Structure 1
Amino acid sequence: MGSVHHTAAAKMGGDVQSVLRFLASLPKAELHLHIEGTLEPELMFELAQRNHALDSLPCKTLQEMKAAYNFQDLQSFLNLYYAGCAVLRTDQDFYDLTMAYLRRAKADNVVHTEIFFDPQTHTQRGVPLKCVIEGIHRAQEEGQRTLGITSCLILSFLRDLGPEAAMQTLNEAEPFLGHITGVGLDSCELGFPPGVFQEVFQKAKTLGLKRVAHAGEEGPAQYIWEALQKLDVQRIDHGVKCLEDRKLIESLEASEMPLTVCPLSNLELKVYSGELEKRMSELLSTDLCITINSDDPAYFGGYLNQNYLWLIQNLGLDSQRVVDLHANSFRASFLSQDAKTQHCEALAAAYKQAA
């Protein structure tokens, strides 16, 4: 952590391919990834054809779909995101979706990932929760066996559907807790403060589940305070609006509370529109526990290494700072302490070899 460095070219070579080779050499973890947000247009159309669901798509061709990825804000993105989810109908669909992400993550040398999924997006369409979880879990098992990627699953509540619907979803998920590590809170943030979900998160804690929440992406810094104080979260997802509150930054630094920051997502959704580079530089100049993630990479133009590349190109991070951010992700994960230590040692060895 600490100040941003500005010698990327000297440390990693001046061209993009050199930087990407350096990034690919480093093992990494991803902690903020929505599996539905990895649905590439090609797979979307393939699943729509398989399920005779072409009429459910908002666009009729790949070209139209790609052109539609011009979002004005979080809600305009979510409208397209939920429409694309309509092609996901069987456990095989969720397996194929998850395996496609894991194979792409392998190319970025991701060795551990903590995957969000939105059960309500599917159950309200009549897709059984069992189908969703078992399809994803089957891919997780294969991903560990064939790709060497460990993963855990985080059930996210759609905040705009309210706390009663969230509690119902948590109750329905109890038979599958062996496949679920934690709960989260996502979807449209403005007007849906974290505090109204306090009872749901208290129950999740009693069930032994980890707790995270989207806060301070488009919503104010106050939402981050609420997530900490009322939901007892162990990570803040996004959290970039903490810059609006110096006392909040000091509290987050003191507690070493991780933030799962998603640069390309913030860029595409126009968070801090016009001054994202400045704000991201401010964020990385604090002593906050920042982790870098891709959020919804199929929609936002880049998987994990592309997010690091953007930071290097726009903020001039040097190689040591990049490695520090990688280490933050392992330390902030829900892995065991022994696994965290092993991954950090492997990261250090890879960096030494690449230097």
Structure 2
Amino acid sequence: MFKVPPVAAERLPALLRAMPKAELHIHIEGSLEPELIFALAERNSVRLPYASVQELRSAYAFTDLQSFLDIYYAGASVLLHEQDFYDMARAYLARAVADNVVHAEIFFDPQTHTARGVPIETVIMGLHRACEDARTLLGISASLILCFLRHLSEEEAFATLEQALPLQDKFIGVGLDSSELGHPPEKFARVFARCRELGLRRVAHAGEEGPPAYIWSALDVLQVERIDHGVQAFQDAALLQRLASSRVPLTVCPLSNQKLRVFPDLRDHKLRQLLDAGLCATVNSDDPAYFGGYINDNFTQVFAATGMGARHAYELASNSFEASFASAADKRAWQHKLKESFERFVEYD
């Protein structure tokens, strides 16, 4: 077991930024910055209901998940061609590399685009090509996870899955996102069963705005391997015990939770309690263009608010590698880099 050396409080933000990490909860459409939205709108002759980048950014005043989703889908309207999806993903991956992300598992929402007449092949090929180029040119490993929109029907999810299957080698798994309340995981039991048969990895948003019962359903009915968000687990002692013993990971997004008023004050966030209870929690950025921070912003701000220290930092980064769907060899290599980064940081502290 690696003994985490002490780090002075004033040096902790630098350590958080420098340590290698994986990002496992990133919606690629949610990384679309206003500047790129306007550039793509001009390239594709799409008219936006905002006069400027600043006016669009000023509209990012969300009160709940649904108010965010309304503007999120409007921003996605500029994505029409394979190159648009490529440019969006490459911009995120370059930003991730700057934050010392060595591996990213990227969510994408094909139904957001196919509903507008964009072929699913256009979406997947643009994103996949960006991931391949980033591996070669930026040195970051990246994989795709196809997400079903839970406010739509399971029949529509099945149709999306069938459309995507000819390109199954371009994505590693499936997820479940969009409006949580009123759309419990069991609504998608049959399509997730089909995905298990196909050998796809499985994750689902649960327990962000929804109750702990949604986390239980995601585990027992959908048989997911990771819970996205999952912060409401702190309300259920039996669930906490199960998550700790099974090491089913939670992909927690602190700034998203603050922006959507799950925890309006970051000082009240439960990340530290989840870690101290033995859960495999991780830190991620969710929709960073909309929620005001990429992964390092999430780390530095939640640490400043909750008083976590170097031990928590190491656990979170280590958990991110453990929770990933990468190969065992890659996980070992990243864990080794993590230990080296801590030792090197303390040596020069």
**TM-score (norm: length of structure 2):** 0.95
Confirm or deny that 1:235 pairs with 2:226. Answer: yes
Larger CA deviation: 209-218 vs 18-27: 18-27
Alignment partner, residue 43 of structure 1: 36
Shift in Å, 1:274: 4.6
Confirm or deny that 1:21 pairs with 2:17. Answer: no
Alignment partner, residue 325 of structure 2: 334
Alignment partner, residue 84 of structure 1: 75
Match for residue 250 of structure 1 among 224, 237, 241 = 241
Distance 2:12 2:305 in 1: 13
Unpaired segments ≥5 residues, structure 2 = none
Confirm or deny that 1:143 pairs with 2:134. Answer: yes
Alignment partner, residue 32 of structure 1: 25
Shift in Å, 1:272: 3.4
Match for residue 93 of structure 2 among 95, 98, 102 = 102
Shift in Å, 1:312: 1.6
Distance 1:48 1:86 in 2: 8
Confirm or deny that 1:11 pairs with 2:7. Answer: yes
1:279-290 correspondence runs (5 A)? 279-290=270-281
Alignment partner, residue 284 of structure 2: 293
User: Cα gap change, 1:275/1:263 in structure 2, threshold over 3 Å: closer, same or farther?
Assistant: closer
Distance 1:275 1:347 in 2: 26
**TM-score (norm: length of structure 1):** 0.94
CA contact (8 A) 1:23 1:108 kept: no
Which digits, 9 at most, give the CA deviation of each residue in 1:49-72, with x for residues without a partner?
00000x2x2322111111111100
SS in 1 for 2:144: strand
1:1-355 correspondence runs (5 A)? 11-14=7-10, 18-53=11-46, 55=47, 57-274=48-265, 277-355=268-346
* Equivalent AA in structure 2 for residue 304 of structure 1: I
Shift in Å, 1:20: 4.2
CA contact (8 A) 1:159 1:185 kept: yes
Which digits, 9 at most, give the CA deviation of each residue in 1:262-311, with x for residues without a partner?
00000000003457625334333311110110000000011011111012
CA contact (8 A) 1:94 1:136 kept: yes
User: Cα gap change, 1:13/1:93 in structure 2, threshold over 3 Å: closer, same or farther?
Assistant: same
User: Cα gap change, 1:192/1:309 in structure 2, threshold over 3 Å: closer, same or farther?
Assistant: same
Which digits, 9 at most, give the CA deviation of each residue in 1:55-109, with x for residues without a partner?
2x23221111111111000000000000000000000000000000010001001
Distance 2:266 2:320 in 1: 25
User: Cα gap change, 1:84/1:320 in structure 2, threshold over 3 Å: closer, same or farther?
Assistant: same
SS in 2 for 1:89: coil
CA contact (8 A) 1:24 1:107 kept: no
Q: CA RMSD in A?
A: 1.7
Shift in Å, 1:199: 0.5
Distance 1:51 1:110 in 2: 31
Q: How many residues align?
A: 344
User: Cα gap change, 1:178/1:275 in structure 2, threshold over 3 Å: closer, same or farther?
Assistant: closer
Q: Which runs of 4+ in 1 moved over 4 A?
A: none
Which digits, 9 at most, give the CA deviation of each residue in 1:6-28, with x for residues without a partner?
x9xx82452xxx54432232111
SS in 2 for 1:106: helix
CA contact (8 A) 1:58 1:84 kept: no
SS in 2 for 1:160: coil
Shift in Å, 1:44: 0.4
Distance 1:211 1:226 in 2: 13
* Equivalent AA in structure 2 for residue 11 of structure 1: V
Distance 1:122 1:312 in 2: 36
Larger CA deviation: 271-280 vs 338-347: 271-280
* Equivalent AA in structure 2 for residue 154 of structure 1: I
